[in-house]
A and B are shown apart, each in its own frame.
Chain A
Amino acid sequence: MIRALATAVALAMTGPARAEIGITPVPSPGGVTAWLYEARTVPILTIEASFQGGSALDPAGAEGVARLMTALLDQGSGDLDATGFAEAREDLAARIGFSASRDEVKVSVTMLAEKRDATIDLVRAALLSPRFDTEAVERVRRRTLSSIRRSETEPRSVAGLAFRSAAFAGHPYGRPLDGTIESVSALDAAALRGAHAAAFARDRLRVAVVGAISPDELGPVLDRLFGALPASGPALPDVASPVMSGQTTVIALDIPQSVVTFGHGGIARSDPDFVAAVVLDHVLGGGGFSSRLMREMREVRGLTYGVRTNLAPGDFGSLYTGSFSTANARLAEAIGLVRAEWARMSETGVTEAELTQAKRYLTGEYPLRFDGNARIAGQLLGLQTAGLDIGYVNIRNDLVQAVTAQDVARVARRLLRPELLTMVVVGKPEGLAAGN
């Protein structure tokens, strides 16, 4: 079954052969719609659901509440305390996860098909009636505070947080997802219940289902899981444009390497030029060992173990960022290389050879994302959160193939702004002129 899907995607890559693939939109009687891919080779069922909002809905002063709330969903619900819930989950051998990220709260469930109904009931209880028992709240809070304290000396976390808080000052995107010592210490049961009420609503829900279930069976399952949630959620944040200084900032930390986060504003997923930007990013720094930055910094000069860029489109603001680390003594050279490659790409775009190589990779890699139930479910949910059509898997590689060098050059001029390229350095760098 998966074979049909992945083969169809692979065929789409070559153009003319366009197989009809079996992703079905399944509307439940209660009005929840899931994208279903039925696959019965392995007797398991995966449900991936997301609710738009996530940590971006954390009220000012209550940073971290979405994360603390989701961490507590499997720590007691209905008649079960934390231990009871965990034992029930183990009895079912189910994998149940809740998480909050910048834009969404996610529910990930993989179950044995034979344990479906009982597993659904357990997830439903966690979603609808979490207990937020004092013991569990305090225990998970202690652990969260510990993790926040630990991240204070983790160079990557420090650099990433400083970069975002500067880029999105005053916007939810500028706040730490885990919260601060002060904000997490102050969260009480009312704040957690408020975050729970804000996070889960049917108009914010997207669902992908892969595995051993038919459309007829799925409808009632969707209603059982999500039907009792409120119809609509609270207002979402405004979309922000990041403010970038173009400067290099150093945060002192006594480590043998400097860790760098760099970047500036990005491109929205809904932008018509997004696919061209993906091609650009692949050539510049997103393409692993074959990218320009990796070649110049790692292959040729041995400056770093790895450098990578990342289109980071968000529902409420987008960045184009990257990161690397290098010996303190070689930081100035490394930063100079990043700035030079940024300027070169912005001025001249990609060569025809680079364009061809990038397209071969991007189109060839796409069907590889569909080689297992869990991976397909992740893809189907990702398409929905990106606002894409259910038929996108059929046309995605055509969109990549249609990108021209002129398209990339146009996007490069628009997206890459060397004068705004901002760097946050954590470490003990040598020979770095202020403002670099």
Chain B
Amino acid sequence: MPMRHTLPALVLLPLMHAPAAAQVGPGVSSFTLDNGLMVVVIADHRAPVVTQMIWYRVGSADEPQGQSGIAHFLEHLMFKATETLEDGEFSRIVSENGGSDNAFTSTDYTAYYQRIASDRLELVMAMEADRMVNLDPSAAGVLSERDVVLEERRQVVESAPGGPFGEARRAALYLNHPYGRPVIGWEHEIAQFDRDMAMAFYARHYSPNNAVLMIAGDVERTDVEALATRHFGPIPASTAVAPRLRPQEPPHRAARRIEMRDARVREPLVVRSYLAPQRLSGDQHAAAALAILADVLGGSGTTSVMARDLVLGDGVALDASASYSATGLDVQSFGVHVTPRPGVSLAQAEAAMDATIARFIVEGPDPAQLARVKGRIRASEIYALDDQSRRARRIGAALTSGLTLEDVAQWPELLDAVTGEEVRAAAASVFRPENSVTGWLAAPDAESGEVGQ
């Protein structure tokens, strides 16, 4: 092993076992170390490959006020020096062993992963355990990485009008919850980050009792237990981990509208977002109905309700779709999106979209279409078995968003059990104007309500 990394010698710790995990899917099991680290194993022996992911229960919505983006900035710094590794050495060692690695940050979690030959699992696990507590980036490394993140923001958010438009809609949707801030952070706050701010955030949130370790691939559960115990077991639980109590949304009373003008816009767009309940542990019925609603209403370019009404034939739109983010710690959003066809104004497109929604709230879904949507969802469970990384990702997101393995196991059955009347009722309850933000994106010269394009 080309690393200089020492941890206390193997200490065998008693393990708590969670039997329900087997229902999540073939090969899935889990256990929890004494220090609170939850470990989920997805055994898939088809190829000698393993994916290690560690998910921390911290995301942008857990950031201190005025430090938007610090969770994502810390994610970048996690590839810098530790007490035993130099800046960049983590990824170089992974690469020299034929693996690939990366990380991602969301509102509710921060996750790191490596894909590598399964006989190298211990190597990457030892390094992942190391940087859970031993991060030690140089001041210069922190500053150059801050420039990298500013460039990332310019590239990912600022290089097309859709980026700032999305940020503005989110900020308008959430009146009080930190979900209104961009995950990458506002530019002026990123520009103020320093080593102390990042390390304070690290000390507070990175610990075994605030993480889920997922090992998917050609592994045996007993081997994972031994390795996790050896490398993560000696790390003490942290007392700094606190319940994730974020400011919640008050009742919304006023529908909001925003309009963004940008010279780069070639195709105008109307998007409406509604606050929508998330999957709640032990109570996922409302979310299941909304997930089916998104699929029925706008999940296909040809057969969905919005496609039939708004796109096919003489429809007003080039594109029409619906989206719902079911998984998250706090209240989520349901979106409807319409790109008008040339000659149709944003006002006309929005009116047609509203007519479709109003009709759907009365009529509900076509039973044949509902059956097809459910068939597709059932099949996707089978297709998902071909992709170990995706399976790990789905479970990791759920476990860091307030859900349990039991919830994950029940989700497909709950989706399958949703009735047409439940879908209709979900539409009636989510499409409330006062809970919404309607956004128009247009070129500067187009008059409001005038012909697009």
Contacts and interface: CB of A to CB of B under 8 A. Distances in A.
- To the question of whether A and B form a pair in one complex, the answer is yes
Interface of A: 1-3, 5-7, 10, 39, 41-44, 75, 82-83, 85-87, 90-91, 93, 95, 110, 112, 135, 139, 142-143, 146, 149-150, 152-156, 253-257, 259, 287-290, 295, 298-306, 325-327, 357, 360-368, 370-374
B318 A90 contact: no
B151 A327 contact: yes
A323 B270 CA distance: 32
Contacts of B311: 139
Given A298-B148, A300-B144, 6 more contacts: A2-B47, A10-B48, A90-B300, A254-B263, A327-B154, A361-B95
A298 B155 CA distance: 14
B372 A153 contact: no
Contact of A289 (B79, B264, B379): B79
A383 B209 CA distance: 46
Interface string B26-48: 00000000000000000001111
A277 to B, nearest CB: 19
B116 A368 contact: yes
Interface in B146-198: 146-152, 154-156, 158-160
A372 B46 contact: yes
A368 B98 contact: yes
B266 interface: yes
Nearest to B80: A299
B151 A86 contact: no
B144 A301 contact: yes
Given A142-B341, A295-B88, A372 B98 contact: no
Nearest to A148: B266
Q: Top 4 nearest A-B pairs by Cβ distance?
A: A364-B98, A302-B147, A93-B379, A302-B144
Contacts of A142: 318, 341-342
Contacts of B385: 42
A145 B298 CA distance: 22
Contacts of A257: 151, 154-155, 158-159
Interface of B: 45-49, 79, 87-88, 91-92, 95-100, 115-117, 143-152, 154-156, 158-160, 217-218, 263-267, 300, 302-303, 308, 311-313, 318-319, 339, 341-342, 372-373, 375-376, 378-380, 382-383, 385-388, 453
A185 to B, nearest CB: 11
A367 B49 contact: yes
Contacts of B149: 305
Nearest to B88: A299
A398 B100 CA distance: 21
A200 B41 CA distance: 45
B159 A155 contact: yes
Contacts of A3: 45-48, 218
B143 A139 contact: no
Contacts of B339: 146
A228 B98 CA distance: 44
A371 B46 contact: yes
Q: In this complex, which of B79, B116, B154, B373 has the most chain A Cβ atoms within 10 angstroms of its Cβ?
A: B154
Contacts of A135: 312-313
Given A143-B318, A143-B319, A368-B49, A93 B375 contact: yes
Q: In this complex, which of A43, A367, A368 has the most chain B Cβ atoms within 10 angstroms of its Cβ?
A: A368
Given A6-B49, A93-B378, A142-B341, A302 B146 contact: yes
A367 B119 CA distance: 13
A6 B47 contact: yes
Given A290-B91, A357-B96, A83 B303 contact: yes
Contacts of B146: 302
A370 B92 CA distance: 23
B109 to A, nearest CB: 21
A153 B266 contact: yes
Contacts of B91: 288-290
Nearest to A304: B151
A154 B382 CA distance: 37
B267 A149 contact: yes
Nearest to B79: A289
20 contacts: A2-B47, A3-B46, A10-B117, A83-B303, A87-B372, A90-B300, A135-B312, A146-B319, A257-B158, A300-B144, A301-B144, A301-B147, A302-B146, A304-B151, A362-B98, A367-B47, A368-B49, A371-B217, A372-B388, A374-B387
Contact of B383 (A41, A110, A153, A300): A110
